[in-house]
């Protein structure tokens, strides 16, 4: 069953790319229905990397949808990206994760990279030949970015990197890890830079050790690993933008895109939970009638549907602002915060509607319930989101 918004037009009728976007979304939905939904339970249960799904994503060109056409991509807008993420997350949230850090890397290179960096990386990232990872968090530094310790010291034409990074999605299979390092430990935020760390997929690569996959509550099937640098040498030509001291501001710009991704994932997971629930409520009978006819269930569905609709609108608003090049840390933070909390609440209500069946792995609600909490802590915890939102609101509405 589809909601009224599932197949909505991506853009205004006058948009010359509207037909392309609609065709791409239709392809993504077929791919989701034919290849992702039938296999998600098995891959999730075995925590197995879904190589056939990733290869099909490459074949469909999904890794290049936001890469500019001059570098081999489709150059589509951020809202289209969010809609694709929503559709993939509807099928299995893990699949949308293969795109998030990849596109954060693409965004950083296309926005801040030198022309040489764009030419070297973006065409191969557009085809999925190399996948991107976003390397910011450390064992003792997550939301507190200023506390990172990974150090890069200039040595001739190279930087020598030492330190440990955590929670790298795509970390094992990635070909380039966009990595925040300290190039001047005495300069606070101005002492941070971004290096484009090239590596081969696998557990070891010339001074890089990739830890084992972290066992997680949900979000299974995608590698989430630790990356340890031990005198790893990175060419100075791979300093993002060719200038030291810009890393913090570059990575924060990418985080806005990551938070839009999280909100889109939350919408996709919430929509699946809602649609499974409204279908189940019309089929499951108690006391001689479908449970959908009980007022208590109707109230739940009303709240779920309303939260879902609001979350989607907030996600798309932040996506449109990001695409226009506007500052959107406030809107992206709000979208991430609201959508992730709404997703968690909707999944809890979905489990209640399904009763004991919702607790069984036979039904998708069990997996959705495990996946939903990731969005609350991913790309900055919601407690951090509320701090960001509060500070921005005080800036915007400050009293003279």
Active site residues: 379
Residues counted in the chain: 400
Angle between helix 329-354 and helix 295-323 axes, rounded to 10 deg: 160
DSSP SS3 for 286: strand
CA distances from 332 to 158, 261, 287, 354, 372 (A): 36, 9, 45, 32, 18
How much is the CA Rg of the chain, to the nearest whole Å? Answer: 21
CA distances from 113 to 141, 243, 249, 296 (A): 25, 10, 13, 54
For residue 274, the surrounding DSSP H or E stretch is helix 247-283
What is the 8-class DSSP label of residue 214? Answer: P
Nearest residue to 55 (alpha-carbon basis) of 114, 98, 23, 11: 98
Report CA dihedral (191, 226, 387, 99) to the nearest 10 degrees. 100
What is the 8-class DSSP label of residue 115? Answer: H
Would you put residue 167 in left (φ > 0), alpha (ψ -120 to 50) or beta? left
Tokens standing for 7? 């197949």
DSSP SS3 for 234: strand
Strands 176-182 and 132-135: parallel
Tokens standing for 347? 């999944």
- Which burial class, exposed, middle or buried, applies to 81 when counting CB atoms under 10 A from its CB (0-12, 13-18, 19+)? buried
Chain centroid to CA 14: 30
Tokens standing for 65? 């949808």
Q: By the 8 A CB rule, do 102 and 171 touch?
A: no
């Amino acid at each position: 069953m589809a909601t009224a918004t599932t197949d909505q037009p991506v853009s205004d009728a006058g948009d010359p790319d509207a037909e392309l976007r609609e065709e791409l979304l239709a392809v993504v939905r077929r791919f989701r229905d034919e290849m992702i939904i039938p296999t998600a339970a098995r891959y999730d249960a075995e925590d197995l990397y879904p190589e056939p799904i990733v290869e099909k994503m490459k074949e469909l060109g999904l890794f290049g949808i936001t890469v500019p056409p001059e570098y081999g991509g489709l150059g589509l807008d951020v809202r289209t990206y969010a809609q694709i993420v929503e559709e993939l997350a509807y099928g299995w949230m893990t699949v949308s994760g293969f795109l998030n850090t990849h596109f954060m890397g693409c965004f950083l290179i296309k926005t801040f990279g030198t022309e040489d960096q764009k030419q070297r990386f973006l065409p191969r990232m557009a085809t999925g030949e190399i996948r991107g990872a976003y390397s910011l968090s450390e064992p003792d530094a997550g939301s507190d970015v200023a506390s990172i310790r990974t150090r890069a010291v200039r040595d001739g034409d190279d930087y020598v990197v030492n330190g440990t990074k955590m929670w790298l999605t795509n970390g094992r299979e990635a070909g380039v890890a966009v990595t925040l390092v300290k190039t001047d430990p005495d300069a606070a935020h101005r002492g941070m830079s971004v290096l484009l760390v090239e590596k081969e997929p696998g557990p070891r690569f010339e001074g890089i050790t990739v830890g084992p996959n972290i066992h997680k509550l949900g979000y299974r099937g995608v590698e989430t690993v630790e990356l340890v640098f031990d005198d790893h040498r990175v060419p100075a030509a791979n300093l993002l933008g060719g200038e030291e001291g810009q890393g913090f501001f570059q990575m924060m710009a990418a985080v806005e895109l990551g938070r839009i991704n999280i909100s889109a994932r939350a919408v996709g997971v919430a929509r699946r939970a809602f649609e499974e629930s409204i279908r189940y409520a019309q089929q499951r009978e108690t006391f001689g009638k479908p449970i959908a006819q009980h007022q208590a269930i109707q109230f739940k569905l009303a709240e779920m549907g309303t939260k879902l609709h609001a979350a989607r609108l907030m996600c798309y608003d932040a996506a449109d602002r990001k695409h226009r090049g506007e500052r959107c840390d406030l809107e992206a933070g709000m979208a991430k915060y609201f959508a992730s909390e709404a997703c968690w609440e909707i999944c809890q209500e979905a489990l209640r509607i399904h009763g004991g069946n919702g607790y069984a792995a036979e039904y998708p609600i069990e997996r959705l319930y495990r996946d939903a909490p990731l969005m609350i802590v991913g790309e900055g915890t919601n407690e951090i989101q509320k701090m960001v939102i509060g500070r921005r609101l005080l800036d915007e509405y400050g009293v003279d």
